[in-house]
Structure 1
Amino acid sequence: MPHEVRAVVATAKGEPVRVETISVPDPGPGEALVQVQACGVCHTDLHYREGGINDDFPFLLGHEAAGVVEAVGDDVTDVAPGDFVVLNWRAVCGECRACRRGRPHLCFATHNATRKMTLDGTELSPALGIGAFAEKTLVAAGQATKVDPAARPEAVGLLGCGVMAGLGASINTGEVGPGDSVAVFGCGGVGDAAIAGARLAGAAKVIAVDLDAAKLETARGFGATDTVDASEVDPVEAIRDLTGGFGADVVVEAVGHPAVFEQAFHARDLAGTVVQVGVPDPEMRIDIPMIDFFGRGGALKPSWYGDCLPSRDFPLYTDLYLQGRLDLDAFVSETIALDEVEEAFAKMERGEVLRSVVVIGGGS
């Protein structure tokens, strides 16, 4: 029997989102029905509303979420009704050759739910295959990762996208190790998570780079040992000065802009690694002389979703959060209701918040 629930829907390009009553079907084989407790407001949701992803309107927005499994379909064994879960937008199989080699971002068998949620009979396109600005949502069971229910939904739900992207950029992609120097360009939610990840991995020096002094101060709270205001100084030279003239061992580009990427490229040590986790526009291009690329060692590595394996990483970082070793609460700028998402988009664009988090049910 379909479930009638309230949800945030983007019906047309650039139009304000609306809270509508949608229909969510019971789960089919390999699917799970989840009661959403909390969902973060991510830039990707705004990109959907603006038509920046595709034009498959209407969209059911929201994807950084935690909640409780209400029902599962046939052939589901990893989660069961009553489990507390964090949702992920890449339901990796965990079993193919890419996953077994520790490369889940190359998984050959990612999947979403096949049954469709609808608005007045029209099929909805769920953001990143999730659609969690809703009282309930339907996902592939592999998109629901069981974690410790003692965790606060508003905090651990953020592992579902931006925070995991940043943590993974440092730990999984950048392979930051004890004693390393790390520079992070861009101190929004993803950049701050990269800073936190670098400190978790044992980096001795973590340099935060941004144009906004307030964001740089916030970055210190996540573990930055030094800050560089790129509106006042050349960040490349500043990073070299802070690293004995060598450049950083790992540089994380969390902006998604060619000019920033070029700065990151030149701010690394000759044998260092550049990790790009900032999402660029499709039209952007990188123009670096080949001799510069050839003449420097190290590596240039894109990081998609922090190269994470949700079944491995979400429980791990939830446990670190509960142990007080990873402050996920610090990413939650405010909690809001479903009908405040449009206002949250405006705050996000103005740089006033790291994350607004919609609390729907069961949050603290």
Structure 2
Amino acid sequence: MPSTVKGVIARSKNAPVEVVDVVVPDPGPGEAVVAIRACGVCHTDLHYRQGGISDDYPFLLGHEANGVVESVGEGVTDLQPGDTVVLNWRAVCGTCRACLRGEPWYCFDTHNAAQKMTLADGTELEPALGIGAFAEKTLVHAGQCTKVDPEADAAATGLLGCGVMAGFGAAVNTGGVKRGDSVAVIGCGGVGMAALAGALVAGATTVIAVDTDPRKLEKATEMGATHAVNSADGDPVEAIRTLTGGHGADVVIEAVGRPETYEQAFYARDLAGTVVLVGVPTPDMEITLPLLEVFGRGGALKSSWYGDCLPSRDFPMLVDLYQQGRLDLDAFVSERIRIDQVEEAFDSMGRGDVLRSVVEFDAARQGAAAGAAENTPEENA
């Protein structure tokens, strides 16, 4: 039977979000219903509310989520009720030209659930990034579910579903940061901080945080950045060069998504260095660079899609690093909030007060414990 649960929607452009009844259908072929334990409040959700993604209102917001599989549809063999999962928005197809050439992280035909969740009056909802996890339950494609250790904190590990993976992967997967590298990260929001964390895990020895907000630079230093540069106080390109022996950084990660900061990244890298764009620009933005400079500097200019991640490979690995104390996901959880506090969380985000606010769902956490108990062998019960 379909379930009616509470969820957070954006009904129209820039309107305050609302907590409403959401009807979640039973899973169809290849689908799963997931009871959400925790879901981070990401800038992308705000962009949906503001109309920056599309105008397919109403949107069911939320996508950085950890949850427990409640039921699965026909043909799903690698998930079962009680599995703890982190949701992803790039369920790979396995058959497109990228997948067939062994690069599934570039999959050109990713999957979402075929059915739609609705309002109580039957109005179809557009789930944010195909997930819609500011809800007690959501319907996704089974391939959007990656099994993780149920003992790991749901609020922390759910952030792997978007921002943390995007930043970490920008450094490790796209940027290819190596032991001994110098790395500069321009923009120290949640994605930029995750890029810093990824660079440190990869063995970078010089890690430079660049931002205009002293609070973010202080946080970056707490998280391991070796240097902090306030670009409001002077030219960040010269500062990065000075901190790297006059050469520039081996890898520069642009986590803002603006022409001026991308240009800074371009000139702040060493010869044959790498620039990674992980900040998301708007459609109207353009950049002009001297072609001779592009040629003469060599190296690589890359964009990072979702940290070029393969969720089935990367999510469990990052959870392992977290549980080993080598990746501090807890540092990204600024506050834990209720489902009716999402609008306030957007305000906190706009002021730069938080890395992530995380919505927690008590009922789903209890369901997770029950699911784990059901899956425990009798002799161990």
Indicate yes or no: 2:221 matched with 1:227. no
**Does the aligned pair in 2 maintain the 1:58–1:124 contact within 8 Å?**
yes
Structure 2 Cα separation of the partners of residues 254 and 182 of structure 1? 13
Q: CA deviation at 1:98?
A: 2.3
Indicate yes or no: 2:26 matched with 1:26. yes
- SS of the residue corresponding to residue 163 of structure 1 reads helix
* Equivalent runs, 1:71-90 vs 2, <5 Å: 71-90=71-90
Number of the residue aligned with 1:16? 16
Structure 2 Cα separation of the partners of residues 185 and 78 of structure 1? 40
Number of the residue aligned with 1:93? 93
Number of the residue aligned with 1:36? 36
Structure 1 Cα separation of the partners of residues 234 and 15 of structure 2? 39
Q: CA deviation at 1:150?
A: 1.1
- SS of the residue corresponding to residue 108 of structure 1 reads coil
Number of the residue aligned with 1:115? 115
Structure 2 Cα separation of the partners of residues 161 and 249 of structure 1? 25
Number of the residue aligned with 1:126? 127
Residue identity matched to 1:215: K
Number of the residue aligned with 2:185? 184
Cα deviation 1:136-182 (Å, max 9, x = unaligned): 00000000100111110000000000000000000000000000000
Q: CA deviation at 1:213?
A: 1.0
Q: CA deviation at 1:80?
A: 1.0
- SS of the residue corresponding to residue 12 of structure 1 reads coil
Number of the residue aligned with 1:50? 50
Number of the residue aligned with 1:312? 313
Q: CA deviation at 1:106?
A: 2.1
Structure 2 Cα separation of the partners of residues 97 and 313 of structure 1? 21
Residue identity matched to 1:89: W
Flag structure 2 segments of 5+ consecutive residues without an equivalent: 367-381
Number of the residue aligned with 1:298? 299
Percent identical pairs in the alignment equals 70
Number of the residue aligned with 1:287? 288
Number of the residue aligned with 1:334? 335
Structure 2 Cα separation of the partners of residues 352 and 33 of structure 1? 33
Residue identity matched to 2:86: V
Number of the residue aligned with 2:346? 345
Number of the residue aligned with 2:171? 170
Cα deviation 1:170-209 (Å, max 9, x = unaligned): 0000000000000000000000000000000000110000
In structure 2, relative to structure 1, the CA distance for the partners of 1:40 and 1:342 (3 Å cut) is same
Q: CA deviation at 1:289?
A: 1.2
The count of residues paired between Structure 1 and Structure 2 equals 364
Residue identity matched to 2:266: F
- SS of the residue corresponding to residue 123 of structure 1 reads coil
Residue identity matched to 2:225: A
Cα deviation 1:233-255 (Å, max 9, x = unaligned): 21100111111111000000000
Number of the residue aligned with 2:266? 265
**Does the aligned pair in 2 maintain the 1:39–1:157 contact within 8 Å?**
yes
Number of the residue aligned with 1:323? 324
Flag structure 1 segments of 5+ consecutive residues without an equivalent: none
**Does the aligned pair in 2 maintain the 1:10–1:57 contact within 8 Å?**
yes
Residue identity matched to 2:360: V
Residue identity matched to 1:103: E
Higher share of residues assigned helix: 2
Structure 1 length normalisation: TM-score?
0.98
Structure 2 Cα separation of the partners of residues 102 and 16 of structure 1? 43
In structure 2, relative to structure 1, the CA distance for the partners of 1:93 and 1:78 (3 Å cut) is farther
Structure 2 Cα separation of the partners of residues 322 and 335 of structure 1? 20
Structure 1 Cα separation of the partners of residues 227 and 64 of structure 2? 30
Cα deviation 1:28-66 (Å, max 9, x = unaligned): 000000000100000000111111111000100000000
- SS of the residue corresponding to residue 21 of structure 1 reads strand
Structure 2 Cα separation of the partners of residues 249 and 32 of structure 1? 43
Residue identity matched to 1:16: P
Number of the residue aligned with 2:239? 238
Structure 2 Cα separation of the partners of residues 41 and 113 of structure 1? 22
Q: CA deviation at 1:97?
A: 5.1
- SS of the residue corresponding to residue 295 of structure 1 reads helix
Structure 2 Cα separation of the partners of residues 339 and 186 of structure 1? 29
- SS of the residue corresponding to residue 297 of structure 2 reads coil
Residue identity matched to 1:9: I
Number of the residue aligned with 1:145? 146
Number of the residue aligned with 1:155? 156
Q: CA deviation at 1:222?
A: 2.0
Structure 2 length normalisation: TM-score?
0.94
Residue identity matched to 2:253: V
Residue identity matched to 2:188: C
- SS of the residue corresponding to residue 122 of structure 1 reads coil
Indicate yes or no: 2:358 matched with 1:357. yes
Residue identity matched to 2:238: E
- The Cα RMSD (Å) is 1.2
In structure 2, relative to structure 1, the CA distance for the partners of 1:100 and 1:216 (3 Å cut) is farther
